[in-house]
Homo-oligomer: A and B are copies of this chain.
Amino acid sequence: MSLINIRKKTVSVEHAPIEIVERKGRGHPDTLCDGAAEELSVALSRYYLAHFGAILHHNTDKALLVGGRAHAAFGSGEVIAPMYLLLSGRATVTADEQLIPVGAIALKQVTAWMGRTLPHLRLPGDLIVDYRINPSSPDLHALFSTTHVPRANDSSFAVATAPLSELERLVKSVEEDLNGAAMKRRYPQIGEDIKVMGLRTEEQIQLTISVAFIAAETPNLATYLAVKEAIAGEVHALAATITRRQVTVMVNTGDRIETGNVYLTVTGTSAEQGDDGEVGRGNRVNGLITPMRPMTLEATAGKNPVAHVGKLYQVYAQQIVNHIVTDISEVDAATCTLLAQIGAPITEPQAIAIDVESPLSEEQLTAPITRIVNNVLNNWEAIRDGFLHRRWPLF
C-alpha cells in the first residue's frame, strides 16, 4: 500500500477574499460531449459484460460537437443546419472471434441519450451522430483479461475537496434547480443550456446566469422578460436558503432588448447556433469548475472504468474526502490528491496526499484517515461496477 501523507492545512476557501465558481448545465455543449462520451462507455461496458463476462478495453473520452445553425424567433424556429457530433476513441471490436457492434451501439445509445437530454431536439433532423473509433491494440486486451488488480494505464493526477464551499453549493444548486423537472413545468421556456458563474468578493456574491430560452415556448418579448425576472426571483429565493451573504443575480446579460437580440434557441442548447463542445472542457467530478482550488485537467467521461486512473482516481479522491469530513466529526475540510503511476496496480497510487483542516493532530488523524483511504481503494470492484449504473457523478 502506498504511503499516505497527511498534513494539516487550510483547505476551505470560505474566507478567501475572492472566490470564483462556475457550472456548465446539462445542455451546455461541453457537458453534452461529456455525457455522450460517458453514455458510450457505459453502453460498451454493459455489452462487454453481458457478452464476454468482463468489461473489455475501451476509451471513448474524446468527442467534438460541431455547432449547427438555427433560426429562432418568438414562438417558433427551426434548426437550419444540424449539429454534428463526432465520437472518437478506441474500443475492443472483436472478442472470442465475435465482432462487437461498437458503431451501432454508439449511434443508438448516444442519439437516444441526446434526445432525452434535449427534449426539444427533433430527431432525426437536428443532429448527426458520427463516430471514428479505432480498434484497441491487442496488448491492452491482455491487461484487462487478468483476474488481478488492474494496472494503471497512465500517469495521471486526481484531486478532490470536501465539503463544498457555500458559493460552490449555491452555484451547483442554482443550475440543478433551473434544470429540474419542477422548474421546467412552471417555466417551459427554460432550456437545458444553463451556465452559472459565481463570483464572491468578500461577503458579496454575484451570480451571472445564462439561460437558453426555448423559442417555441416563448411567444413574445414580454414573456421572455417576465420569465427572466421570474428566474431571478427563483434564484434569489433559493440563495436565501443557502447563504446569508448579499446576492446579486444577473440573467442573460448579453441581451440587447432594444435590438431584439435575446437568448432564444430552438433546441435548448447554444450548440444549435455554432457553439462547439468537447469532452473534458466543462465541470470536474464535483460538478463545478473551481479555479481557486487545486484542479485536474483530466476528463473522466468516456474513459474505461477498469483501469483508467484518469477516471477512477477522481472518484476515489472524492469518496475519500467525503468520508473524511463525514466520518471524522472533528474534520472541517479535506483535500485528497492522488497520483497514479503507469503500470502499477490501481490500488497503489504513487502518491496519496491528504490535507485536512481539523483541531486534531496529525497523529490522531492518521489511523482513521488511513482506514478510510484503504476502504475506498479496497472497494475498487464495487466502484468500477457503480459506473455502469451511473452511480458516481462525473461532471
Instruction: List chain A positions with a Cβ less than 8 A from chain B.
Output: 5, 7, 17-18, 20, 22, 61-64, 66-69, 71, 78-82, 84, 86, 88-90, 98-105, 107-108, 111-112, 122-126, 128-130, 132, 134-137, 139, 155, 157, 159, 195, 197, 199, 201, 208, 210, 253-254, 259, 261, 273-274, 276-282, 289, 291-292, 294-297, 299, 337, 339, 341-343, 350-351, 353
**Contact present for A261 and B139 (CB under 8 Å):** yes
Given A5-B201, A155-B208, A132 and B78 contact (CB-CB distance below 8 Å) = no
Contact B291 A134 (CB under 8 A): no
Q: How far, in whole Å, are A201 and B273 apart by their CA atoms in the complex?
A: 48
Set of chain B residues within 8 Å of A337, measured between Cβ atoms: 18, 20, 291
Q: Is the CB of B63 within 8 A of A64?
A: yes
What's the nearest-Cβ distance from chain B to residue A60, in Å? 9
Q: How far is the CB of A394 from chain B (nearest CB, A)?
A: 15
Instruction: Say whether, besides A5-B201, A67-B134, A353-B17, A299 and B274 are in contact (CB < 8 Å).
Output: no
Chain B residues whose CB sits within 8 angstroms of the CB of A280 once the complex forms: 278, 281
Q: Quick one: closest B residue to A206, CB to CB?
A: B350
Given A103-B82, A124-B123, A157-B291, residue A18 in contact with residue B137 (CB < 8 A): no
Pick from B66, B123, B278, B292: contact of A132, CB under 8 Å: B66
Can you show 9 pairs from A to B with CB atoms below 8 A apart?
A18-B337, A71-B99, A108-B122, A128-B130, A139-B261, A281-B297, A291-B296, A292-B294, A295-B295
Please, which residue of chain B has its CB at the minimum distance from the CB of A352? B18
Inter-chain contacts of A254 with B (CB < 8 A): 342-343
Q: Report B-chain residues with C-beta under 8 Å of the C-beta of A123.
A: 124
Q: Which of these, B7, B82, B195, B341, contacts A107 with CB under 8 Å?
A: B82
For residue A301, give the distance in angstroms from its CB to the closest CB of chain B: 12
Which residues from B are CB-within-8-Å of A339?
20, 199
